[in-house]
Structure 1
Amino acid sequence: MRVLVIMDPIQQVNLKKDSTMAMLWVASRRGHQLGYAQQQDLYIDQGKAFGLVSALQVFEQQVPHYQLAEPKKQSLADYDIILMRKDPPFDMNFVYTTYVLEQAEREGAWVVNKPQSLRDCNEKLFATQFPELQVPTLVTSQHILIREFIDTHQDVIVKPLDGMGGAGIFRLSAGGPNIGSTLEMLTVLGTVPIMAQRYIPEIVDGDKRILMVHGEPVPYCLARIPQNGEVRGNLAAGGLGEARPLTEKDREIAKKVGPFLREKGLVFVGLDVIGEYVTEINVTSPTCIREIDAQFGTSIADLLFDVLENKKNYV
C-alpha cells in the first residue's frame, strides 16, 4: 500500500516513546511505500486535496532514523491510507486540516482516524457519552456551578477541554484558598467551559491507557503512575509507565466503548481509565505503543496494520 503520515517534525521525535515511529517501522517492514507531510503541507486546489509530500524511508536505529526526499505536489487520494498523527493542540488549524483530509476521503483515501470524528469527538467531552463509566462530571464555564460541584464532592479535579499531557490539571478541595483564581484562569474569566470531575483516589495506582484497535482492546495497558506527590500520571508530567495485563473490568469498559469507536471510524484510540472509571477517550494521536511493546514483547502497530491491510472489510 501507499501510506501517508501527517505528523509533527520527524526530526524531533523521541524514538524511545514515539508511537508514530512504531507504526512507520511496521509499515516499512511490511513493504509499504511511505510518504510524509506536516499539517501546513496540505491544501485544496480546484476542489481536490493535495499535499507537498516527501517520500520517506525509516530506519530502526538512532542515527539516522529517517530519510526524506524533496517534497513534491501529490494528490492525497493517491495514498491508500493516510495516518493523521498530528499531536494536539486541537485548534482551528487542526480543524482546517480535517477539512482537507475529508476531501481526500471523498476522493477515495482511508484517513485514520476519520476526520469528521476527530472534530466531533473532543477527548474530554466524548467520554461524557458514557456516564455509567464515569465519576460525577461537570462541563461548564460557570464558576457558581463549579463551586457547587466542589462543595458537593469535596475533592475535585478541574482541567481544560483542549489540554494534553496533563497540562492545566488542578486538584481543588472544598474551602481551598485558590479556587477562585484557578477557575478564573482555566475558564478565562467565565467565558470558556472546563471539566470538573470528582477526584479518583485510585490514581495513586496509575492512570491506565488502554489502546483500542478497530474497537478491540490491546491485551495490555500502560499504567501511568504519579511520582513525587503529583496528582497527574501523564508521562509528560513525570509519571512512571508500568505495563499491565487488562483486568476484567478494563475489558468490560472496552466492550462497551468499542462499538461506538467502530461506528465513528476511530480505528486507533486510547482510553484513559482510573480505577474503574473512564476519564478521557483520546482520538487524535494516542501514544504508549512503545512502552507496552518494550515491557511485554507485543507489536501493537502490527495489530493496527492487520486492520489497515484489510481495508475492504472495514470501510
Structure 2
Amino acid sequence: MATPLTVAVQMDPLASINIAGDSSFALMLSAQARGHHLFHYLAEDLNYRDGRVWALAHPVTVQRQQGAHFTFGDPVRLDLGREADVVLMRQDPPFDLGYITATHLLERIADETLIVNDPSSVRNAPEKIFVLDYAHFMPPTLITRSLDEARAFLAEHGDIVIKPLHGNGGKAIFRVGADGANLSALIEVFNNTWREPHMVQAFLPAVAKGDKRIVLVDGEIAGAINRLPGEGEIRSNLAVGGSAEKTELTPREREICAALAPELKRRGLLFVGIDVIGGEWLTEINVTSPTGIVAIERFDGTDVAGMIWDAIEAKCTRA
C-alpha cells in the first residue's frame, strides 16, 4: 500500500455536486479508500504571504450518500507547499481571471508539491486553444469576432456551429444553417458578452451519433464513453441532457491519442479528457477539470480514478 498522502482538493462547494457522476468526488473517494488524507478548499480561499501559499482548508471525509456525502472537520491554515503532497486543481471553469490567478499562485509551490494538472500548463493550454496545435485532426475552424469572417466561413461550409472560446459544459453552443438566419444577431450577442474571439466550426452531422469523451492518464488511454445528444439537441454533454453509452476506439482515435501523449506528459497534464466526433474529428482537449470517469467505470468497469492515483503515487514516490 502506498504511503498516505496529504491531498488538498481545490474545487467548487461540495454541497452543490451530484455525486452520481462527479469525477472530483470519485477521485476523493478513491484517495480516501487508499488511506490518503483529504482537505477541501475553494479557489477563493487561496492566500499568499511571506513567500508561502496557503489555504483555509477543511479536513474532509466522503461517502456515497447524496446529501450526506461529506463531513468537514474544523478549518485549518494549510501550507500547500510544506503540508500538502498533492493539490488537485478541480474547480470548474469559467476560465476567468480568478482561475488564472489561482494557477499563478499554485505555480509558486510546484517545486514542492505535485499539482494535478500542472498549473502553468493549465493556464497555457485552454481547451479550445491548445487543440489548435493539432489542427490536422480538427474540423474546419475559425476563431474570430468578425461578422464578415463568420459569413464567409458559413458560405464556404454551409452549416456551422458557434461557441464561446472559453466556454464549458456545452453552454452557449449554437448551430447556424446555410440561410444564415440570426448569424448577425448571434455574433452581436457574443461580442457584447465576451471580449475574446469566438470559435466557429463546420457543423459535423456525425454528432447525431455521439461525441466521444476519451480520458488519458499521463498520456495513456484510460477509457472512453460515447455521449449522445438529447432529443432536439446538437449538444451531447452530459451536463446538458446528453446520455452515455459504451464505446470502442477507432484507429483514427488511437492515432489522435498517440499524437497527443508526448506533449501531455511533457506539460504535466496527468488527467485529460479529449472530445472526438465521428470517430475522427478532435474538437477539444479538456485540461481544467475533465470529467467522464464515473461513466467510463459504469460501462467498462475500468477504475480510472484508481489509474489516476496510481500515476500520482508513482510521481510522489519518485519525488
Q: Which bin holds the TM-score, normalised by the shorter protein? A: over 0.9
C-alpha distance in 1, partners of 2:205/2:284?
17
Tell me which residue corresponds to 1:101: 106
Tell me which residue corresponds to 1:300: 304
Tell me which residue corresponds to 2:84: 79
Q: Structure 2: where are the runs of 5+ without partners?
A: none
C-alpha distance in 2, partners of 1:271/1:178?
30
2:284 to 280, 291, 300: 280
2:291 matches 1:261: no
C-alpha distance in 2, partners of 1:40/1:17?
24
SS in 1 for 2:252: helix
2:252 matches 1:249: yes
C-alpha distance in 1, partners of 2:196/2:116?
30
Asked if the contact 1:183–1:189 (Cα under 8 Å) also holds between the matched residues in 2, the reply is no
C-alpha distance in 2, partners of 1:71/1:246?
44
Tell me which residue corresponds to 2:177: 173
C-alpha distance in 2, partners of 1:75/1:57?
20
TM-score by length of 1: 0.96
Q: 1:191 offset after TM fit, Å? A: 5.1
Moved more, 234-243 or 111-120: 234-243
TM-score by length of 2: 0.94
SS in 1 for 2:247: strand
C-alpha distance in 2, partners of 1:314/1:268?
19
Tell me which residue corresponds to 1:4: 8
Tell me which residue corresponds to 2:118: 114
**For 1:1-315, what aligned pairs fall within 5 Å after superposition?**
1-62=5-66, 64-77=68-81, 78-106=83-111, 108-188=112-192, 192-218=196-222, 220-275=223-278, 276-311=280-315
Asked if the contact 1:3–1:80 (Cα under 8 Å) also holds between the matched residues in 2, the reply is yes
Deviations 1:162-203 (A, max 9, x none): 111111111112322211001111122895300111111110
C-alpha distance in 2, partners of 1:291/1:68?
27
C-alpha distance in 2, partners of 1:70/1:40?
18
Which amino acid in structure 1 is aligned with residue 243 of structure 2? L
Q: 1:62 offset after TM fit, Å? A: 3.2
Percentage of pairs with the same residue? 39
SS in 2 for 1:260: helix
Asked if the contact 2:40–2:60 (Cα under 8 Å) also holds between the matched residues in 1, the reply is yes
SS in 1 for 2:128: coil
Q: 1:22 offset after TM fit, Å? A: 0.7
SS in 2 for 1:51: strand
Moved more, 12-21 or 182-191: 182-191
Q: 1:314 offset after TM fit, Å? A: 7.3
Q: Structure 1: where are the runs of 5+ without partners?
A: none
Task: Point out 4+ residue stretches in structure 1 off by more than 6 angstroms.
Answer: none
- Residues 146 and 314 (structure 1), Cα distance of their counterparts in 2 relative to 1, 3 Å cut: farther
C-alpha distance in 2, partners of 1:111/1:217?
21
Q: 1:258 offset after TM fit, Å? A: 1.2
Number of aligned pairs?
313
C-alpha distance in 2, partners of 1:221/1:193?
30
SS in 2 for 1:104: coil
